[in-house]
């Protein structure tokens, strides 16, 4: 019994919504980065679901590009968070919103 694409789209919408709420509500930079990663994974799930439905590899290729960009974003974002934490001793967005050293 094969699963329909509707299940994957609902799951991707749920994951994207959780990630969006995490970015909008939380004030910790690390939690915000994890929420962005969750949103990117929801987009990947959508790409792969539509690719499987249309019997094409295009969605899989886009998904690989999104994974690459997400890995770069995580590396650069964590480097910025570490630099801010070393300087300010906090990862709260409100405390570092001025970006003055």
Q: Is the predicted pLDDT of residue 101 greater than 60, yes or no? A: no
Report which of residues 83 and 46 the model is more confident about.
Answer: 46
Question: Domain containing 23: what range?
Answer: 5-88
Place of tokens 């630099």: 83
Based on the structure, what is the number of domains in the chain? Answer: 1
Instruction: Identify the CATH number of the domain in which residue 71 sits.
Output: 1.10.287.3510
pTM value is 0.85
CA angle (75, 68, 42) in 5-degree steps: 100
Flag whether 20 is in a domain. yes
pLDDT in tens, 7-63: 999 999 999 999 999 999 988 888 999 999 999 999 999 999 999 999 999 999 999
Flag whether 66 is in a domain. yes
Q: Is the predicted pLDDT of residue 81 greater than 90, yes or no? A: no
Q: Are 48 and 59 in contact (CB under 8 A)?
A: yes
């Amino acid at each position: 019994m094969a699963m329909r694409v509707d299940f994957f789209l609902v799951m991707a919408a749920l994951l994207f919504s959780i990630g969006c709420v995490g970015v909008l509500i939380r004030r910790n930079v690390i939690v915000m980065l994890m929420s962005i990663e969750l949103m990117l994974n929801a987009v990947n799930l959508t790409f792969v679901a539509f690719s499987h439905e249309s019997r094409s590899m295009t969605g899989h290729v886009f998904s690989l590009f999104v994974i690459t960009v997400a890995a770069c974003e995580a590396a650069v974002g964590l480097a910025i968070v570490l630099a801010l934490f070393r300087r300010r001793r906090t990862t709260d967005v409100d405390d570092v919103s001025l970006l003055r050293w």
